[in-house]
């Protein structure tokens, strides 16, 4: 991302100039330009060569992003290396763009399951939510359900701060899938979160015949084996877990698409 504030840089930071490549920021200095003293950025390149960048051209420079402690090799002013890097990067971006176009075209051509409209149970479940829905929460939930009722496979990301009701939106979608005879897999990043979601889903669905299970290291091998057998037989409606759910021994009877 181009720089817009010089205060974002510290002396010694690695930077990237759009035309000259990777250099080391040496701070601000003044040079004579047209008989006047101008404040400029001083950037060091290979072989001790320095580049001076006017402050009005600050957008042509960006801070180098890498793992902490990594020291990239400095580019050579006028060399072919940076031009080659830019060429390969451009080719790579074009390739990625082409792949994305093909992917989205394929998605639009595919047809998934058309879920039913809201059932009395769905309305009852949503009405039992102990808090007042926020406008954004309602919009997100209705949008997700409309996607599920559409033949095109859903591709939606729900974003929100902690405590803003994302899990409730997910549970309403899961409930809709389950009442239409489909199984639901809830993939989470950590074992702790898997346990938390397991308790939340169990509590939320306790008034309906929805079997919720969790697969994590907190379950014994016997408990995990039992859950997997029931999952494969179609007796488990919602399964929650980490990447363990992606293992080959995790088989579904009717996983919702």
- Residue-level pLDDT at 98: 96
Indicate the burial class of 194 (C-beta count within 10 angstroms; 0-12, 13-18, 19 or more).
buried
Stretch 59-72: mean pLDDT: 88
Domain 6-77 maps to which CATH number in 2.40.10.170, 3.40.50.300, 3.30.420.40, 2.60.40.1930? Answer: 2.40.10.170
Q: Which CATH class is domain 120-246?
A: alpha beta
Where do the domains of the chain lie? 6-77, 79-109, 120-246
Same fold, 6-77 and 120-246: no
Distance CA(197)–CA(242), nearest Å, equals: 11
Distances in whole angstroms, Cα of residue 166 to Cα of each of 37, 45, 117, 159, 253: 56, 48, 21, 8, 27
Q: How many other C-beta atoms lie within 10 A of the C-beta of residue 207? A: 11
Residue 2 has pLDDT above 80, yes or no: no
**DSSP β-bridge partners for residue 21:** 17
Distances in whole angstroms, Cα of residue 168 to Cα of each of 117, 119, 128, 129, 162: 18, 17, 11, 8, 12
Residue 79 has pLDDT above 90, yes or no: no
Distances in whole angstroms, Cα of residue 210 to Cα of each of 81, 98, 128: 60, 43, 16
pLDDT, tens only, 128-141: 999 999 999 999 99
E strand map for 66-211: 184-187
Residue 36 has pLDDT above 90, yes or no: no
The sign of the CA dihedral 92, 94, 98, 103 is positive
pLDDT-based confidence at residue 111 (cuts at 50, 70, 90): confident
Closest residue by Cα to residue 165 from 126, 207, 123, 192: 126
Residue 118 has pLDDT above 90, yes or no: yes
Question: Could you tell me what percent of the chain has a pLDDT over 70?
Answer: 98
129 and 160 Cβ atoms separated by less than 8 Å? no
pLDDT, tens only, 138-171: 999 999 999 999 988 888 899 988 878 899 999 9
**What's the number of CA atoms in the CB half-sphere (13 Å) around residue 202?**
11
Give the three-state DSSP class for 43.
strand
pLDDT-based confidence at residue 226 (cuts at 50, 70, 90): very high
pLDDT-based confidence at residue 75 (cuts at 50, 70, 90): very high
Closest residue by Cα to residue 53 from 31, 75, 34: 31
Closest residue by Cα to residue 205 from 230, 223, 184: 184
Question: Could you tell me what percent of the chain has a pLDDT over 90?
Answer: 74
Residue 207 has pLDDT above 90, yes or no: yes
Q: Is the pTM of this model over 0.85?
A: no
Residue 106 has pLDDT above 60, yes or no: yes
- Burial 79-117, CB ≥16 within 10 A → b, else e: eeebeeeeeeeeeeeeeeeeeeeeeeeeeeeeeebebee
- Residue-level pLDDT at 184: 96
Residue 1 has pLDDT above 60, yes or no: no
């Amino acid at each position: 991302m181009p720089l817009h504030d010089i205060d974002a840089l510290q002396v010694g930071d690695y930077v990237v100039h759009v035309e000259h490549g990777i250099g080391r920021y040496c701070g601000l200095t003044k040079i004579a330009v047209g008989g006047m003293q101008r404040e400029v950025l001083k950037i060091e390149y290979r072989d001790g060569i320095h580049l001076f960048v006017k402050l009005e051209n600050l957008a042509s420079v960006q801070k180098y992003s890498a793992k902490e402690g990594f020291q990239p090799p400095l580019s050579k002013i006028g060399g072919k290396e940076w031009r080659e890097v830019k060429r390969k990067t451009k080719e790579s971006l074009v390739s990625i763009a082409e792949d994305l176009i093909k992917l989205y075209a394929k998605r639009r051509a595919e047809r998934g399951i058309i879920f039913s409209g809201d059932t009395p149970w769905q309305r009852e479940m949503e009405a039992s939510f102990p808090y007042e829905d926020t406008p954004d929460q309602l919009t997100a939930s209705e949008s997700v359900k409309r996607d599920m009722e559409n033949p095109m496979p859903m591709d939606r990301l729900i974003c929100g701060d902690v405590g803003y009701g994302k899990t409730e939106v997910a549970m309403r979608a899961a409930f809709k899938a389950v009442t239409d005879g489909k199984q639901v897999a809830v993939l989470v990043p950590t074992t702790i979160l898997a346990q938390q979601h397991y308790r939340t889903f169990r509590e939320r669905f306790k008034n309906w015949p929805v079997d919720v299970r969790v697969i994590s290291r907190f379950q014994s091998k016997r408990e995990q084996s039992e859950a997997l057998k029931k999952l494969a037989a179609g007796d488990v409606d919602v399964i929650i877990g980490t990447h363990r759910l992606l293992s080959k021994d995790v088989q579904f009877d009717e996983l919702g698409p």
